[in-house]
Structure 1
Amino acid sequence: MPLLETRALNKRFGGLHVTNNVDLVLETGEVHCLIGPNGAGKSTLFRLILGEHLPSSGSILFGGEDITAFKSFQRIRRGMSVKFQVPGIFKALSVRQNLEIAMQHHYEPATLAEEIDRLLAFLNLSGDARRLAGNLSHGQKQWLEIGMAISLKPRLLLLDEPTAGMSPEETHATGEMIKRLNADGMTVLAVEHDMAFVRQVADKVTVLHLGKVFAQGSIDDIVADEEVAAIYLGQTTAHATAHQQPGGLHA
């Protein structure tokens, strides 16, 4: 049974058909990336899955349960967690306090400090535990919010452009974090533009275009697809190959 499934999912805003009959299957234990040009409908689909938007038609199943009408908090209680593109951290509190707020109701007091220490080490933030979160670098703020999202040990981690604004080194480190989480059993769905990151982490890639599923497959399948190159880069594969970054297609 898939962990997450959307069936003929549609979302209209007035006369604008933003999500168009999207069928998406996410298997348990998979890292799945959503890519596509601006305006493809990635963010809307993401918000439909999270429950911030209700679909115009179609259905969403999570662990086999129909959650189409569920509110966001009900989906989170069933095992979803999300990290948005803009970090939603408490800037005036320390890094450790941010994690304590996220975790305090989910761990016994006797084990909370130990769990926070473990998570700080995983996030490469042990040396910054007492720093104000607002004084962290952009990449570190992203890592802190990932830590807050995974502190609940979700069945499904939703990531909205997790590497936006990061340096190549920070992006690679983030990819390694995602791979370690996945190796421990966490399923991940990420909206992402950085194709080096997608190549690093993805088991499967879905390309959206004009609200529709345009292509699905492995990263190698997607990179080799001339039609994907045409809509995603606005150029032919031959031209893309001459200008692509070492990580493959680059948005």
Structure 2
Amino acid sequence: MTPLLETRALSKHFGGLHVTNDVNFTLAAGEIHCLIGPNGAGKSTFFRLLLGEYTPERGQILYAGEDITALKPFARIRRGMSVKFQVPGIFPSLSVAHNLEIALQHHLEGASLGAEIRRLLAFLNLSAAASERAGNLSHGQKQWLEIGMAISLKPRLLLLDEPTAGMSPDETFATGAMVQALNRDGVAVLAIEHDMAFVRQIAQRVTVLHVGRIFAQGTTDAIIADERVAAIYLGETDAPPLRSVADA
């Protein structure tokens, strides 16, 4: 089957530093895939390449078999990609419901718009906060609101940049349950994440990036059991080879 997302020899450097170095990556339709790695591994740069915010020096990005390497970010979104960044990009002075209305207003109107706002509020555990200013929400609730705004576009692929950063364990678990529910509805998810409890909860496959390269790939259990993965988090490995961890 054609992967939903694929990169071929994707490379990006800033000056003499290769932040993304010949990355060959695939994500299947309907898959939940987590991207992990130590700080400076190139995870955020890889995301921005996927979104079209950075232009690669070489390599390709394919989405549903189409070469999108040269497409602008808005064109990628129109094809079914959506993103939630680590810092919530909500409208703090507006109500929670109004934030969702802004995200939906070009797609729905009238009774259909109101029904979809109510559905999203319930899905996000924010029904009781619908009329509150978004800026007054807790940190976790702000993250959920932006997830709601990202999925309002009905994406085929949702990119999540550290969605549980700063959350309590209960909020993290609830976020994982949301991601799993979206996936059951057919949404593929690629998430950058450091919280291994969250990764274990949601990931069907995990890729480890290190110094701009893919270091290991496999199931969560296989990745956690790999002593070399632990070593790069402790700073004990400088130049690892590409490895493929067999599925557990």
TM-score range relative to shorter protein = over 0.9
- Structure 1 residue 127: deviation in Å? 0.2
Q: Where do 5+ consecutive residues of structure 2 fail to align?
A: 238-248
Secondary structure of the residue that 1:220 maps to in structure 2?
Answer: helix
State the alpha-carbon separation in 2 of the partners of residues 151 and 145 from structure 1: 10
Query: Deviations 1:130-169 (Å, cap 9, x if unpaired)?
Result: 0000000000000000000001110100000000110111
Q: Which amino acid aligns with 1:156?
A: L
Aligned to 1:87: 88
Q: Which amino acid aligns with 2:50?
A: I
State the alpha-carbon separation in 2 of the partners of residues 234 and 57 from structure 1: 29
Q: Where do 5+ consecutive residues of structure 1 fail to align?
A: 237-251
Aligned to 1:244: none
Aligned to 1:36: 37
Q: Which amino acid aligns with 1:110?
A: A
Aligned to 1:142: 143
Q: Which amino acid aligns with 1:4?
A: L
Aligned to 2:168: 167
State the alpha-carbon separation in 2 of the partners of residues 181 and 119 from structure 1: 12
* Structure 1 residue ranges, 4+ long, deviating more than 4 angstroms after superposition: none
State the alpha-carbon separation in 1 of the partners of residues 227 and 206 from structure 2: 15
1:61-80 matches, cutoff 5 A: 61-80=62-81
Secondary structure of the residue that 2:125 maps to in structure 1?
Answer: coil
State the alpha-carbon separation in 2 of the partners of residues 89 and 77 from structure 1: 20
State the alpha-carbon separation in 2 of the partners of residues 121 and 145 from structure 1: 14
Q: Which amino acid aligns with 2:65?
A: G
Aligned to 2:226: 225
State the alpha-carbon separation in 1 of the partners of residues 225 and 165 from structure 2: 25
**Aligned-residue CA RMSD (Å):** 1.0
Aligned to 1:151: 152
1:194-209 matches, cutoff 5 A: 194-209=195-210
Aligned to 2:103: 102
State the alpha-carbon separation in 1 of the partners of residues 201 and 179 from structure 2: 10
Secondary structure of the residue that 1:75 maps to in structure 2?
Answer: helix
- Structure 1 residue 108: deviation in Å? 3.4
Query: Deviations 1:166-212 (Å, cap 9, x if unpaired)?
Result: 01110010000000000111000000000000000000000000000
- Structure 1 residue 16: deviation in Å? 1.0
Secondary structure of the residue that 1:176 maps to in structure 2?
Answer: helix
Query: Deviations 1:21-72 (Å, cap 9, x if unpaired)?
Result: 0011000000000000000000000000011001010000001000000110
State the alpha-carbon separation in 2 of the partners of residues 227 and 60 from structure 1: 29
- Structure 1 residue 110: deviation in Å? 2.6
**TM-score normalised according to structure 2 size:** 0.94
2:96 pairs with 1:127: no
Secondary structure of the residue that 1:213 maps to in structure 2?
Answer: strand
**TM-score normalised according to structure 1 size:** 0.93
Secondary structure of the residue that 1:70 maps to in structure 2?
Answer: coil
- Structure 1 residue 235: deviation in Å? 6.7
Aligned to 2:53: 52
Aligned to 2:241: none
Aligned to 1:241: none
